[in-house]
Amino acid sequence: MEEIHEECGVFGIFCNRIQDVAISVYYGLYALQHRGQESCGICVNDDGYFRFYKQAGLVGDIFTPEALQKLGRGNMAVGHVRYATTGSGDARNAQPIVVNHKKGKMALAHNGNLTNTSVLRSALESRGAIFHSTGDSEVIAYQITKERLKSPSIEAAIERAMLRLRGAYSLVILSATKMIAVRDPNAFRPLCFGKRKDGAYVVASESCALDAVGAEFIRDLDAGEILVFEQSGVRSIRTHCKKRAATPCIFEYIYFARPDSVLDGVSVHEARKRAGKILAQTYPVAADIVIGVPDSGLDAAVGYAEASGIPLDVGFIKNKYIGRTFISPSAERRSDGVKIKLNVVKNVVEGKRVVLIDDSIVRGTTSGRIVKLLKDAGAREVHLRISAPPFLFPCYFGTDIDSQEHLIACKYSVEEIAKLLSADSLGYLPLQRIEEMLGKKRPFSVCKACFCGKYPLRVAKDTGKNRFEQKLGQFDDLKEE
């Protein structure tokens, strides 16, 4: 995996009594840290009084015991870990977004990416809205707040706001008395909920976060569903359900989600194993060992080894103490950076023909360095197998690929890429077989537009990640879809 980043993770908890909800959110965010490592935040609702803290950095660094103590106790809370797909990754774009408005307070955490942000932001600014961040999540918060002024309830305002929102959004929202979970009509990004033995309801991007706080999984939210958690129980609002075909992002299964999560009924670990088996069937090769690139290639490597009969082994040791705060080396020392993050187990690969499994190739730079590490350690041959098709198109729904400019597969053939990476052979997961990785019982299709260019929604031209970091007067394409 290289140059593709996670999106965001959201987590919420609703209790019938005051308790240490911030601790539960802390554990939940720790379980979702893989989805975003730029910033994090928690907002606690103490019977209508909001206390929040958010900052750039990792969960364990930002939420010290002192910070958690200051958040205090409450009956509900929401948390967020972020990787920026719209707007920069600094503290001003950290979430949850907390809003005070005429009819009360709201805290919002968002995973996904809107495709009509420029249109909505321009319309809101023309009516006097002042934005403090450069992300699309504040646009969602403003749109809901705008609808709240003429709606009888927060959930009615969300229902109305969804008529204007386009793109990917899984949301957890707090009002003074309710927690609300929302999944967009295409269900691009995952969102599920469960219940603890103490009666608390928990909402999270992935089921692994439910496990982290002792909550039993109930189900995934349906596409377009709004779930309202309040003292009287849980209500489902289905006004926007079945308006569009559900198209969850295939890259959640290939890379984003944790292997121990289950998304929309599909085990992520099993999906990746099936991808490895498909690779073994499609691109067999005479080799001595199969190894996976930690951590994203490990599950597919298991599948490849099982299907091929080639022994699986540990070829790399990953330095688990390096996160996104690691200081990137200068251009001439980048190979040293790869060595610090990954170290080859020399006696495993020396003199061997190696099948190397990874989840994707973007620019090709990191993949080339990993192949070189193996050959420098004495590997006789390196056969690279990728558990995804080639990236050929931008993603507008939350994956950090906003142009074709740096995609190596747009410039070179498979054979040319193999040569550039010094690999002895290269094989990608065939596009026509990609949905096989999800198994036979899957009741939905998937979005695979980054591989084939067929988008489930129309998208605007002005979708660059940092478009709101530009100078005034540089926006265009502000027509509504």
Question: Nearest to residue 457, comparing CAs of 168, 38, 66, 119?
Answer: 168
**Per the omega criterion (within 30 degrees of 0), is the bond before 264 cis?**
no
- Report how far apart, in Å, the C-alpha atoms of 110 and of each of 39, 139, 141, 166 are: 13, 11, 10, 14
Task: Decide if 8 is catalytic.
Answer: yes
Rounded Cα gap, residues 80 and 95, in angstroms: 6
Tokens of 63: 């939420």
CA dist., res. 311 & res. 361, Å (int): 24
What are the beta bridge partners of residue 428?
386
Residue of 8, 40, 249, 447 marked active site: 8
HSE, CB side, 13 Å, CA atoms: give it for residue 214: 7
- Amino acid type, 362: V
Q: What is the CA radius of gyration of the chain?
A: 23
Positions marked active-site: 8
